Amino acid sequence: MQTTKNLVFSILLLPTAFFVTYRTTAQVPQEVSSIVKMNLDEGQDKLQSLGYEICHSSLFAKEQDWYNEKEKICVTIKFKKKSKEITEVSLNPETSKCEQGLEASRKVWEKYHDGQAPVSNSKIDEERKKLADQGFKVSYWVDQISPGNRSEYWVNDKTQKTMLIVWKVEGNEWLMTNKTEYEYGKNPAPIKQ
């Protein structure tokens, strides 16, 4: 008798499970699904062009949540560690968590600014000139890279190198000019036009 009950329950549950899976997959907009197999940078650019903003990123799980505030849709993208190829896009039903994540990330992104920082003194200007003479161009600056310190990122796309100038907020005292990873040369929070 128990076996019969289990069998009947399984038969009734199967169409429901199929419907829920189909409905969840069907809700991912087609233009968002099109980023599967794209490089992570290209996929992120595409999501931004569609009105999505990153609201959570997991380094260990290699996934990110993106939220479209206008459409009230949250999606999770998964990608490969080495190739950075996007392998999956799925609907994330936890929209309230995505909204909270978006609000928190916007506060972080407020520190990032396109172009050159509005600061000038002889040492910082000297460092800028050295970098410009080496083929670097200013990309963006960060209001607080660490407590009391600002930084400006310079990129040389030919050599695929990025340098940063760091100075103290108080007194605009230059601290260092140093190299960093090329991938950090792109402003992670550009101003949307």
pLDDT digits (tens, 9 = 90+) for 9-44: 344 444 444 434 433 444 899 999 999 999 998 999
pLDDT digits (tens, 9 = 90+) for 112-150: 899 999 999 999 999 999 999 999 999 999 988 888 899
Helices and strands (H and E) in the chain: how many: 5, 9
Q: Given this model, what pLDDT does residue 81 score?
A: 84
CATH topology for 112-185 is Nuclear Transport Factor 2; Chain: A, (3.10.450)
Tell me the C-alpha distance between 51 and 72, whole Å. Answer: 11
Q: CATH 3.10.450 region(s) of the chain?
A: 112-185
